[in-house]
Structure 1
Amino acid sequence: MERRRFFKAIAALAAWPALARAQQSKTRLARVAYLSAQSAENIDPHSMTALKQGLIENDLIEGMNIEITYFWGNGDPGRVKELASALVQRDFDLIITAGSQPLRSLMATGTKKPLVFAIVADPVGDGIVASLARPGGNATGLSMSGTDLESKRIQLLKETVPTIRKLMILHHSAGEAIGVVSAMKRAADSLALDTVFVEAGAVDEFENAFARAKEQGAEALVASASAYLNYNRKQLIALAAKHRLPSVWETNVYVRDGGLMSYGPNFPDMYRRSAGYVAKILRGANPGEMPVEQPIKFELAVNARTAASLGITVPPSIVARADELIE
């Protein structure tokens, strides 16, 4: 389905009338900024491809009728804030972003520019929108709130490794949704799992943080959804392997990089759908009146090679449900 949609969009672009091209060249291109806590090298390329695909599906063609300038936080919360403050002063018509941290940074500037978020965990809980049905204000997009993902991830990890008794909860409070850690604690409690909380601080503190958690008896790892953790995922995955901690993460990019498993929305699909908001707002729609949508695709990914290296036999029930199995 995705391939058909993509090639259909490419065909539509190829058939764009010459007259329309000429008319576009005489008009001002819509100017859009994209602010990310990631880097251009580290971000999942599938998500960026999906965003561009979604724009094409909505007749927005870079260089023809839309111009996108990309701003990368490179995993540095301070840099994200600086970029947010700088770009809202420029004459962009709209700003696209993803994740709580860059969105909060933009909101903190008091900007009235339209904001479209491809992914945010809990925009209502974070005070970004008044409600999912009627956001109010100048921000709208796609949310993961109400999906109970923290509980499902821990359940899947426990099903995969039934012997675990103490769980390391890795989080980054500056970059995650408010209340996510308490939700993870409740989920662990419901499975009679003890917990060790580890705040991901400076990168050079990661090693000691993992070692302390291991000393306290941690037998597995669950991580919050965080742009900061995502940016540093390769180092975190390597530490999980070093300390022999089975791990569950928010998205399959972690699994492709060696994490044991992940469960969450299909992020590229959310990026693609966010392009529809961009198109409607540029054509005059009010973001405050555009309902926030929920993800419609969820994926379980498992790295069988990582499981084997940890001496774990992945249960058939997990294998059967996996959307992606790396062998």
Structure 2
Amino acid sequence: MARLISRRALLMTTCSIAIAGAVNAESSRPWRVGLVTSGQGDRIVGWFREAFKAKGYREGKDLIIELREAKGHYALLPNLVEELLALKPDVIIAEATPAIAVAQRATSTIPIIMSPSSDPIGSGFVKSFAKPGGNITGVANMFADLTAKTLDIIRLVFPKLQRIGVLTSSNPTHAALAEVAARAAGAVGASAQSFVAPNPEDLDKSFADMQAAKCEIVYVLADPPRRALPSIALKYGLPTVYQVTNYPDLGGLMAYGPDIKALFLLAADYVDRILKGANPADLPVQQPTKFQFVINLQTAKALHLAVPEQVLLLADRVIE
């Protein structure tokens, strides 16, 4: 009997060690998060590092971020996503619609976090905001909904405005956003014409074309920031208004839109929940709750533009 008990105890101990070993092996493997950006990722990856650290993750020990950047060249995205898939990530964060669309085509099993998307339902990324229904969830940005208010603000600064140039790229959401901008321009008594700069190196020509078309201002549709854009706008003397609120910090004149950093911090929450076992199909898509109107008075001065006091009072942030 003693021998039987001893053998049973030994067997149970061996099983326990094996189970513990499996658990330790799994827990000691860092989570691998793929981050693919349509634009440049240095600022974005910094925000994610900040967010994951606040949630208790230790980069390099608990979590590894694998960054791939298209830097505005969307044709590179398929190869970048394939590189990430080869690393077997536990979750993919895709910045902006071009990267999300490529990631969606590449995998239907690895969770994908939209960070953010302009039109998640229209783009076919999710079935609904409440029940995404697949391997994609994340954040929507509401840029289309903010266009009319932005044009109202523009009219306060340019009361005699007649002609707006709408700057687009090869972003698949821009055709619909340009139509929204054209309707909003019509509502304030102006016309809008679209000009396409598919890649960052096309910006100079697009601004030359807008200047030749006698556009009085430029409205830049949402894209990952192209950092040369504000200096090119200044070179052509065209006041430029942006949907993405990072641009005034880069020298852009004005911007109205969601707090961009807050959107990426929301995306980090999705990653955390999925790594802890949540199913992306059941995680509702979130929309921004914080919006910013930002003015760069240095740029206004360089353009010899006087910003009315009532507009300055509307601003959440003024760069002087």
2:56 aligned with 1:59, yes or no?
A: yes
2:186 aligned with 1:186, yes or no?
A: no
Partner of residue 253 from structure 1, selected from 232, 246, 256: 246
Could you say which structure has the greater relative contact order, defined with CA pairs below 8 angstroms and 6 or more residues apart? 1
Partner of residue 138 from structure 1, selected from 135, 157, 173: 135
Find the counterpart in structure 2 of residue 20 from structure 1.
Answer: none
Q: RMSD of aligned C-alpha atoms?
A: 2.1
2:260 aligned with 1:267, yes or no?
A: yes
Partner of residue 300 from structure 1, selected from 290, 293, 309: 293
**Aligned positions, number:** 297
Partner of residue 220 from structure 1, selected from 217, 221, 233: 217
Superposed CA offset, 1:229-259 (max 9, x none): x23x32x222221222111112332112211
Partner of residue 198 from structure 1, selected from 183, 195, 199: 195
Q: CA deviation at 1:273?
A: 1.7
Partner of residue 160 from structure 1, selected from 129, 137, 157: 157
Runs of 5+ unmatched residues, structure 2: 1-23
* Structure 2 CA distance for partners of 1:248 and 1:68, relative to 1, 3 Å: same
User: In the alignment, residue 281 of structure 1 is paired with which amino acid?
Assistant: I
Q: Equivalent pairs: percent with the same residue?
A: 27
Find the counterpart in structure 2 of residue 31 from structure 1.
Answer: 32
* Structure 2 CA distance for partners of 1:170 and 1:147, relative to 1, 3 Å: closer
d(CA) in 1 for partners of 2:51, 2:202:
39
Structure 2 counterparts to residues 54-93 of structure 1, below 5 A: 54-93=51-90
Partner of residue 279 from structure 1, selected from 272, 284, 291: 272
With 88-97 and 293-302 compared, the bigger mean Cα shift is at: 88-97
Runs of 5+ unmatched residues, structure 1: 1-22
* Structure 2 CA distance for partners of 1:57 and 1:154, relative to 1, 3 Å: same
Q: CA deviation at 1:191?
A: 0.9
d(CA) in 1 for partners of 2:144, 2:192:
22
* Structure 2 CA distance for partners of 1:177 and 1:207, relative to 1, 3 Å: closer
- Check whether the contact 1:265–1:298 (CA below 8 A) recurs between aligned residues: yes
Find the counterpart in structure 2 of residue 10 from structure 1.
Answer: none
Give the TM-score normalised by structure 1.
0.84
User: In the alignment, residue 252 of structure 2 is paired with which amino acid?
Assistant: G
With 186-195 and 81-90 compared, the bigger mean Cα shift is at: 81-90
Find the counterpart in structure 2 of residue 310 from structure 1.
Answer: 303
* Structure 2 CA distance for partners of 1:124 and 1:221, relative to 1, 3 Å: same
Give the TM-score normalised by structure 2.
0.86
Superposed CA offset, 1:66-90 (max 9, x none): 1111111122112112111332243
